[in-house]
Amino acid sequence: MSRPRLHQLLATVFETKDAQLVSNLFQHEDFDQFMKRFSLVIPRPELAQAFTHTSFSHEFNYPHQEQLEFLGDSVLSLILTEELFKRFPQEKEGHLSKLRSALVNEKSLALMANALELSELIIVGKGEYIKKLYLEDTVLADTFEALLAQIYRHHGFEFTRELFLSWLNEYIPEAFNQNFLDQFDAKSKLQEKVLAKYKKLPRYSSTDKGDQFEITLWINDVAQMSGVFPSKKSGEKALAQEVLKKGLI
């Protein structure tokens, strides 16, 4: 009889509060399968920590991922800074900084995390499990950074750099193209256009809609476009992109 998948076991943990089952989560074979895919050698409890959200830690007092996120963010920044430095030796610092920001933003990291199926390994608290918090971009991006930290700690910088760049090349092949930056930087580009034409900045208003937000983009005090989005940040970016795409300014 096959063992239950990690999230199946997690659901049982919430029902039983069994200490042994909690311990089994951090030794789950799903972590072995993930490591096998990418030739990783990391003690299962340490790999599991990279996938442990603070909500689970608060309920069961197990180490969580937050400090690893801090380290992973720095590792990721160094990898991309070095790569951009090599690819664009004549480019100005400001442009390189914008491109790096586009590559380390929440949406990009969540996209790679989804492609790697990290959500299936994320351990969250009961309420967050019911809400499927492990599918949200913020949690996926944070987990990606924490995972990168553990890979760096156990395999070193060169291994981590090569693995990350292989993921980037596979899942975001346009990452180093100018169009990728243009799409990411939509809010700034819209701001420049609106400021030049109307001598005032565009503005965004939001209304809570349960777990989502209704965002409206205003240009010259006229509502141009609106929509419902999971976060204010993603909504503002999407509206700016759409206005630029449709040539409304």
Q: Is 40 left (phi over 0), alpha (psi -120 to 50) or beta?
A: beta
Whether residue 219 contacts residue 202, with contact meaning beta carbons closer than 8 Å, is answered with yes
**pLDDT top residue among 226 and 210:** 226
Q: What is the per-residue pLDDT across 169-216, written as a single tens digit (0 to 9) for each?
A: 999 998 888 667 666 678 878 888 899 899 899 999 999 988 899 999
Residues written for the chain: 249
**Torsional sign, CA 155, 160, 162, 164:** positive
Q: Hunting for tokens 């990391």 — which residue is that? A: 42
Q: What is the per-residue pLDDT across 22-70, written as a single tens digit (0 to 9) for each?
A: 999 999 999 999 999 999 999 999 999 999 999 999 999 999 999 999 9
Chain-centroid distance, C-alpha 205: 25
- Residue 184, exposed/middle/buried by CB under 10 A (0-12, 13-18, 19+)? buried
Q: Which residues, in sequence order, are bridge partners of residue 206?
A: 215
Q: Catalytic site residues? A: 73, 145
Give the CA-trace dihedral at 129, 131, 136, 142, to 10 degrees: -40
Whether residue 141 contacts residue 109, with contact meaning beta carbons closer than 8 Å, is answered with yes
- Ranking 29-33, 108-112, 229-233 by mean pLDDT, the lowest is 229-233
Rounded distance between C-alpha atoms, residue 78 and residue 65, angstroms = 20
Cβ count near 118 (within 10 Å): 23
Over residues 80-97, the mean pLDDT reads 90
Whether residue 243 contacts residue 222, with contact meaning beta carbons closer than 8 Å, is answered with no
pTM summary value: 0.78
H-assigned helices in the chain = 6-16, 19-25, 29-37, 44-50, 54-60, 66-87, 93-104, 106-115, 126-130, 137-171, 178-184, 186-198, 232-245
Q: What is the per-residue pLDDT across 36-48, written as a single tens digit (0 to 9) for each?
A: 999 999 999 999 9
pLDDT at 85 over 80: yes
Rounded distance between C-alpha atoms, residue 7 and residue 224, angstroms = 43
Q: 3-state class of 215 per DSSP? A: strand
| CATH numbers and ranges of domains, the chain | 6-183 (1.10.1520.10), 186-245 (3.30.160.20)
Whether residue 183 contacts residue 107, with contact meaning beta carbons closer than 8 Å, is answered with no
Q: 3-state class of 190 per DSSP? A: helix
